[in-house]
């Protein structure tokens, strides 16, 4: 890809994925308290809700693993800080899996490994893209976050469980902050990112909004 100054348009469109000061606004702030006392079971959820939770567990892990790997290559703080946030995101989904007695697809997978073959392929692709340059790595971050926003909206639409909706809402807030952080870093490099998953109108609205406080603390 090797984007130069100007407009960054990443070729692969993700169909699955899923910082203020970078140590505060970027930190996730989700806690396992979002999964309240374990009184529910998987039987209370539809197959679609269960599949969505398992997918989101690995999608958030993918975001973390990509950012951690690219930070090791480029050493830019935004990748490190957002990787910490993504750890909290995936743990928030794990708390829901535990509450509902759903098997954790990420229980035994190492960094960069995924039970979902499509997510494994996607991870490999994103790492290859992000290795080309720092600008490409930041573009990968923007692509992951706009995809997360799209996917979380889809998952929210198929559930009415308050605890699940609350976690998805907090994840959505965090992804918005992450998108702003990556967009800011790209603009500093003279690059205008072209969204591929959400509309330009939605991208502009999110990117121009201030950083938010999510789930009681900042992401």
The residues of the chain scoring below 70 in pLDDT are 1-42, 215-219
| Fold of the domain built from segment(s) 41-210 | Ferritin (1.20.1260)
C-alpha gyration radius of the chain: 16
pLDDT digits (tens, 9 = 90+) for 81-99: 999 999 999 999 999 999 9
Cβ contact 109:60 at 8 Å: no
> Rounded to the nearest 5 degrees, what angle is found at the Cα of 217, between the Cα atoms of 169 and 212?
65
How do residues 179-215 score in pLDDT, each as one tens digit? Answer: 999 999 999 999 999 999 999 999 999 999 999 998 6
> How does DSSP assign 177-207, residue by residue?
HHHHHHHHHHHHTTEEE--SSS-HHHHHHHH
In the chain, the percentage of residues whose pLDDT exceeds 70 is: 79
Pairing of strands 217-218, 191-193: unpaired
- Helix 77-100 crosses helix 134-156 at what angle (to 10 degrees)? 30
């Amino acid at each position: 890809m090797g984007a130069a100054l100007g407009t960054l348009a990443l070729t692969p469109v993700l169909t699955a994925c899923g910082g203020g000061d970078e140590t505060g606004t970027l930190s996730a702030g989700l806690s396992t308290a979002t999964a309240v006392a374990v009184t529910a079971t998987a039987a209370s959820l539809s197959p679609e809700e269960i599949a969505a939770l398992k997918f989101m567990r690995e999608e958030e892990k993918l975001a973390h693993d990509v950012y951690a790997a690219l930070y090791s290559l480029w050493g830019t703080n935004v990748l490190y800080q957002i990787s910490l946030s993504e750890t909290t995101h995936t743990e928030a989904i794990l708390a829901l899996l535990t509450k509902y007695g759903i098997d954790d697809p990420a229980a035994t997978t190492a960094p960069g490994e995924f039970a979902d073959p499509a997510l494994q392929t996607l991870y490999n692709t994103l790492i290859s893209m992000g290795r080309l340059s720092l600008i490409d790595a930041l573009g990968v971050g923007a692509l992951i976050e706009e995809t997360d926003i799209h996917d979380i909206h889809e998952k929210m639409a198929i559930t009415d469980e308050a605890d699940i909706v609350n976690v998805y809402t907090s994840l959505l807030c965090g992804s918005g902050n992450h998108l702003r952080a990556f967009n800011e870093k790209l603009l500093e490099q003279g690059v205008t990112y072209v969204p591929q998953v959400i509309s330009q109108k939605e991208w502009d609205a999110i990117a121009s909004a201030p950083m938010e406080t999510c789930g009681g603390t900042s992401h």
